[in-house]
Each structure stands twice: as structure tokens, then as C-alpha cells.
Amino acid sequence: MKDILIQFGPITVYSYGLFIALGIVAGYTHFIREAGRAKLDTNRLSNILFWSMLFAFVGAHLCYILLNLQYYLRNPLELIRIEDLRSGYVFLGGLAAGMVSSFLLLKKHKFDYALVMDLASPGLALAYSLGRIGCFLHGCCYGRVSHGVCAVWFPPDSPAGALLEPRIPTQLLSSLIGIAIFTILLLVRDRKRFKGEVFLAFIGLYSITRFGIEFLREDHYLQVLFFDIGQWAYLCILMIVIGLYIRNALRYGCFVNRQKLTLPRPK
């Protein structure tokens, strides 16, 4: 791993920030291309996407602070530490804040929220995959100690290398899962039977895989019975997704005629 990729005088390029930026560019490019094919106003959608991403970053950082609230109450000055602002984010918090802000903005500009989120979901999976590579190079979001064949030694000055033992590279596993979800969503997109199906597939697949990854991760939060608080959140989200999917599938007769929804995309 390599936390700092380039350092030239006062200019420092961190791997975490670079791959987050690459993820945003890749997700944005894919979304705008899909929106253009669907004959939507890409200029307005670009503005909405900008503000949604801004709120997503704020939500991701606030979620990180809330999950580590006792630490920040004891160390309030850490809230403005550059290192904390550089890597203290929780993807689920960012996703929730981005969803809420985009919903309000899309409704304000009279866009079909379900349709737009269908178009955006593959890009979100792609951005997530690239972002996890940044996590690996930085050494955060690490797995449990392991001496298996796939275990990775992290530098001692990284978050994952503090115990000086090899760890499961859950960041790379998450990145591969992101690519797999991206591929599955493209297949769902071409066969979807109701608006919102691609988005529900993304949220459902992310919740299932993230729930499983948590068993391999070391940096757990509050434990409640058998699972940590994050896993309980993913289970609740998954139940909501299943309920919404069944409701929409019944509404559009997907279990009866299995007719594919005509997409607003030129061939």
C-alpha cells in the first residue's frame, strides 16, 4: 500500500483522495451517459448531482462522528484535524444523505426519482469499488488479523498496521464486490420490469454483501446481541428493499406476465 502517491513541494496527492475522486468521475460519467440516452436534461442533473455529492460527503463525515461520538467528546479538537477530514467517512451515511438530498432536488425540478436513481445506481457501485481501493492504500476499513494466504501486511504507521500483524484485505474484497454489483446492475437495467428496480437491486445487494463483510472486519462499532449496529442497519434496509420490491412487482404484474418495462432509451 502507499498512502502518499505523489509529493512535490507543497503539493501532496493522497491515494485515498485520488481514488475517491476517480470513483466520482467514473460514476458521474456513467450516469450522465445513461441520462443522455434517456433524453433527460443532463445540465440540470449535473447540478443536482453536485449538490447531492456535497451533502453526501457531509452526511458521511457526520455519520463517522456519531459512530465515534465518545472519542470526539473527549477530543473535540480532533473534529478539525486534517487527517480526520481526509479519511473519516462512512459510506452508508453518505449514501443516505445523498439519497435524501437528491430526492428533494429531483422532486423540485420535476424529475422522476425512481428513473433517475435507476440510471445512477451502476455508477454508484463503480464509485464505491474505486473508493475501496483508496481505503486499501490508506490502510483504513481493514479486516481481522489473519495468517492465511491472502493476508496482507500493512505498514506500521497505517491504521491497519498498528498491531504489526497481517490482516484480511477486506478493502480489496469490497472493491471486487463493487465491480460484481456494477455488472449485475447492468444486467438488471436491460431487463428491468418496473421503475426503481435497478436502484432497489443496488441497495439490496450492497446491504447483503456489506452485512457479510462486517464479519471479516476488525473496526466494529457498538455490538448489539449477535451483530454490530451497522449489521442491524443493513438488515433493516434489506427488509425495506424486499418489501418495496414485492410491492412494485405485484403492482406491475411481474409475477404474472413477466413483461419487461419499456425503457426510455433509444436502441
SS3 of 86-116: the string is HHCCCHHHHHHHHHHHHHHHHHHCCCCHHHH
Cα–Cα distance between 27 and 258 in angstroms, integer? 30
Q: Residue 248 — pLDDT band, cuts 50, 70, 90?
A: confident
- Residue-wise pLDDT tens digits, 152-175: 888 888 888 777 888 999 999 999
- Residue-wise pLDDT tens digits, 16-51: 888 989 999 999 999 999 999 999 999 999 999 999
Cα–Cα distance between 26 and 31 in angstroms, integer? 9
- Greater confidence (52 vs 263) lies with 52
223 and 180 Cβ atoms separated by less than 8 Å: no
pLDDT at residue 176 in the model: 96
- Greater confidence (81 vs 197) lies with 197
Residue 267 has pLDDT above 80, yes or no: no
Cα–Cα distance between 23 and 58 in angstroms, integer? 17
What is the value of pTM for the model shown?
0.84
pLDDT at residue 81 in the model: 66
- Residue-wise pLDDT tens digits, 78-131: 666 656 555 577 888 888 899 999 999 999 999 999 999 999 999 999 999 999
163 and 142 Cβ atoms separated by less than 8 Å: no
Question: Half-sphere exposure (CA, 13 Å, Cβ side) for 128?
Answer: 27
Cell output for 216:
471479516
Q: Where are the chain's structural domains?
A: 4-192
pLDDT at residue 256 in the model: 59
- Residue-wise pLDDT tens digits, 209-221: 999 998 888 766 6
pLDDT at residue 228 in the model: 83
Question: Half-sphere exposure (CA, 13 Å, Cβ side) for 210?
Answer: 28
